[in-house]
Amino acid sequence: MDFAPVKPLYRESLAYPFSNNVRFSYLIAPEKPENVTNTILVSADDGTGNPTYRELEFKDFNTHNTKYWALKSCSNIGLLRLTWKEKAAVEIYIHGGINSVFGAYGGVDCLGFDGQYGAGISALFFDSIAIRAGFHHYSGHWGDEILADFFSRGYTEGTDYKAITEYTRNNSWYFGASYSLSDILRFAVDVELPESKAWIRPAAHVPAYTTKPSSEESPEKANTSDYIWTQEGFNDRDNRFYPSSYKAWRIGLSLEAQYKIDNIGRVYAGIDIQLHQDGKIDPVTATYSGDLGWKKEYSAVLGFAFLDDDILPEFNIEFTYHKGRFPLLNYWFNDIEYYSVGLGLSL
């Protein structure tokens, strides 16, 4: 029996932007209009009483504003491990932390931060097959400076917008499985499925089978509807007409390789693909569309990890390429392509 082993049984994808590790990175995006992040997503009335979403600026558009600082302070911890004849091991794990991004174009305003955590059980068999099952929570929060800029522009609540949206998955069931070949190659699959009672935002992303818990931060709104639409300004809306096939899945696929250099460290590379079923929700009509595909994200990482110690975390230097959603949850609607260089620790 081991208490708090340094290295957990299940490792998360090296290239996944929201993996639980410590990273400080500088992000550079090509100066193209699609890479500018200067809007907040709000719910609105389409003019006929039906919900829609629209983007409202918090900062003037400028293609020069495509550089960012990213700071992630997260950890992946095994709490208690049981081992059987070096053939199998089981442990209780927790993971979580905070992910944030700042502008790097003349100022360092915080665009927002994400809180994430989870817990469950991991297992490892024959040092090659690992599985993990538990729950996962992550939720987006707008930066105070961004909100101050947004409100200073004179938008009128009720006229220009109904409510400011957030991107939240609280909570999802989580399952992961990986296979390692000779300590050189590793392939992993991670999936998440919202629980039957969970806070899912924005409201249009809520599957038909999921309803919100009975209480919340705003008690006067808690029981007016089983759905989150009341927080976005629509009291008589639900998603029960969505097809049963829509469950707001998140599926992650990753492939990693490493080469160890004696007495120095290791070189590693990884590719990560994220698939989001909520990409099938049309943000204009706020309804499910069978013609839309799952949202896809692509990330690749090349890094060097210095020789680590059994009782110390691993120190990394990484170069990353990403194409897909902005690496903050609330900006899920803003696709971006960027390159980054960063330093980090694997905890």
SS3 235: coil
Structure tokens at 195: 């629980």
Distances (CA, A) of 89 to 2, 84, 178, 299: 10, 6, 15, 31
Task: Give the CATH superfamily of 2-346.
Answer: monomeric porin ompg (2.40.160.40)
Query: What does pTM read for this prediction?
Result: 0.92
DSSP annotation of 211:
B
Q: How far is CA 63 from the centre of its chain?
A: 25
CB count, 10 Å around CB of 341? 12
**Tokens linked to 49:** 């009483």
* pLDDT at residue 223, rounded to an integer: 57
Comparing CA positions, the residue from 207, 141, 204, 222 lying closest to residue 172 is: 207
CA distances from 131 to 20, 178, 191 (A): 17, 6, 12
How many other CB atoms are found less than 10 A from the CB of residue 80? 13
Tell me, what's the pLDDT at 224? Answer: 63
290 in helix, strand or coil?
A: coil
| Model pLDDT, residue 65 | 87
Q: Check residue 129 and give its pLDDT.
A: 95
For 328-338, write each residue's pLDDT tens digit: 999 999 999 99
Domain boundaries, the chain: 2-346
Which pLDDT belongs to residue 216?
58
Average model confidence (pLDDT) across the chain: 91
Q: What is the pLDDT of residue 335?
A: 94
Q: Buried (b) or exposed (e) across 311-325, using 16+ Cβ within 10 A?
A: eebbbbebebebebb
256-292 in b/e burial notation, b at 16+ Cβ within 10 A?
A: bebeeeeeebbebbbbbbbbbbbbbbebeebbbeeee
d(Cα 252, Cα 191) in Å, to the nearest integer?
A: 6
**In the chain, which stretches have pLDDT less than 70?**
1, 4, 6, 215-224, 308-312, 347
At 96-150, the pLDDT tens digits run 999 999 999 777 889 999 999 999 999 999 989 999 999 999 999 999 999 999 9
Tell me what pLDDT residue 54 has: 94
Query: What is the reported pLDDT for 86?
Result: 80
